């Protein structure tokens, strides 16, 4: 009788399919990471279709992106809910498990560093090998108050996230939630600023993806970074909601640590991107 009560208590407020392995009968095997990966891959495919809109239906790219984002978010929800949220306080934690997850995030960031590094290397190669470097005639004023403000916002978000991380390690839940909420707000504002910048460049200045090597590099790298910021906002939102439901403590905050690692990485990439693409656009 007590076992049923405990099981019922553990499953309280949890709902399928995220709680159980999917499909059932495969033990610890889960398809949620596969669903998430399919959604992430679909976003890139949709962006590619968007770029070659002249060869396909104009709505094909946006439709694939929208569907892939939905699939990605569904996979993230199921994966993280099943892996980390259910039975949070009753699950045993070991140094080996914590170390494995932390190194898993480090390996993931290593793959992201390789991705950005390859694209930057491609850009430097063409810039150095194309003779006299010139910018497209439609290139707008890149170092504007908007980009400076947006950069300051993203850098500030790293400090607010660090504040939240330090707070939860001291069991200060109030400041942890304040710091997480403020970080999320700054991340969303940054994305809004980037969308505004794109609107100004494309609609008012006529500066688009097709404007030579620089146009491709600018929108390719800033767009890829924007996708990573969106992913970071999703990660931080999940952490924030879990915090609102009373999870995390000085002893249990691994998800906060790994989300912080990702967000700080995204911030550092942005600073490098601003130096190369915004400040470093003079004649070679």
User: What is the mean pLDDT for each group of 10 consecutive residues in the chain (284 residues)?
Assistant: 39 45 51 85 85 78 89 81 61 56 77 86 76 69 88 96 93 93 96 92 81 81 90 89 82 82 93 89 52
- 54 Rama class: left (phi>0) / alpha (psi -120 to 50) / beta: alpha
pLDDT confidence of residue 113: 86
- Do 225 and 270 touch, CB atoms closer than 8 A? yes
| Apex 123 CA angle, 119 and 127, nearest 5 | 170
Please identify, in words, the CATH class of the domain defined by 98-284.
mainly alpha
- Do 209 and 221 touch, CB atoms closer than 8 A? no
Distances (CA, A) of 211 to 136, 195, 207, 239, 281: 6, 19, 7, 40, 14
Question: How many CB atoms are located within 10 Å of the residue 166 CB?
Answer: 13
Distances (CA, A) of 33 to 22, 72, 234: 11, 9, 15
Rounded Cα distance, 32 and 16, in Å: 13
Is the full-model pTM beyond 0.75?
no
- Do 241 and 177 touch, CB atoms closer than 8 A? no
Q: What are φ and ψ of residue 86, in 5° steps?
A: -70, 140
pLDDT confidence of residue 29: 58
Q: What are φ and ψ of residue 173, in 5° steps?
A: -70, -35
Q: Which of 88, 74, 81 is nearest to 34 (CA)?
A: 74
Contacts of 246 (CB under 8 A, 6+ apart): none
pLDDT confidence of residue 13: 46
pLDDT confidence of residue 1: 38
**Secondary structure (3-state) at 283:** coil
Distances (CA, A) of 99 to 93, 94, 155, 256: 11, 9, 28, 14
- Residue spans of the domains in the chain: they are 1-91, 98-284
Environment class of residue 145 by beta-carbon count within 10 Å: exposed (0-12), middle (13-18) or buried (19+)? exposed
Q: What is the pLDDT of residues 72-123, one digit of tens each?
A: 888 877 777 766 666 555 555 555 445 666 677 788 788 888 888 888 888 8
DSSP state of 81: I
- The radius of gyration computed from the CA coordinates of the chain, to the nearest angstrom, equals 22
pLDDT confidence of residue 9: 41
Distances (CA, A) of 112 to 105, 106, 247: 10, 10, 29
| Apex 7 CA angle, 243 and 28, nearest 5 | 75
**Secondary structure (3-state) at 30:** coil
pLDDT confidence of residue 86: 61
pLDDT confidence of residue 133: 63
């Amino acid at each position: 009788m007590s076992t049923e009560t405990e099981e019922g208590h553990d499953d309280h407020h949890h709902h399928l399919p995220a709680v159980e392995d999917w499909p059932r009968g495969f033990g610890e095997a889960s398809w949620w990471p596969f669903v998430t990966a399919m959604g992430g891959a679909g976003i890139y495919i949709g962006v590619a279709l968007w770029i070659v809109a002249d060869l396909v239906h104009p709505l094909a790219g946006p439709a694939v992106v929208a569907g892939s984002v939905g699939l990605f978010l569904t996979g993230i929800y199921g994966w993280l809910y099943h892996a980390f949220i259910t039975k949070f306080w009753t699950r045993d934690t070991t140094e080996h498990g914590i170390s494995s997850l932390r190194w898993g995030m480090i390996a993931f960031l290593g793959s992201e560093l390789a991705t950005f590094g390859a694209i930057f290397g491609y850009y430097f190669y063409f810039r150095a090998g194309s003779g006299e470097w010139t910018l497209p005639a439609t290139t707008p004023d890149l170092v504007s108050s908007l980009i400076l403000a947006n950069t300051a916002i993203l850098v500030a978000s790293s400090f607010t996230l660090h504040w939240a991380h330090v707070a939860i390690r001291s069991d200060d839940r109030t400041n942890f939630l304040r710091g997480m909420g403020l970080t999320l707000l700054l991340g969303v504002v940054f994305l809004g600023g980037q969308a505004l910048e794109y609107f100004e460049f494309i609609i008012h200045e006529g500066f688009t993806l097709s404007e030579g090597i620089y146009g491709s590099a600018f929108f390719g790298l800033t767009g890829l970074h924007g996708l990573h910021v969106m992913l970071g906002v999703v990660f931080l939102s999940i952490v924030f909601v879990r915090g609102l439901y009373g999870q995390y403590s000085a002893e249990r905050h691994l998800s906060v640590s790994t989300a912080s690692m990702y967000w700080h990485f995204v911030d550092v990439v942005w600073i490098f991107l601003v130096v190369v693409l915004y400040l470093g656009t003079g004649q070679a």
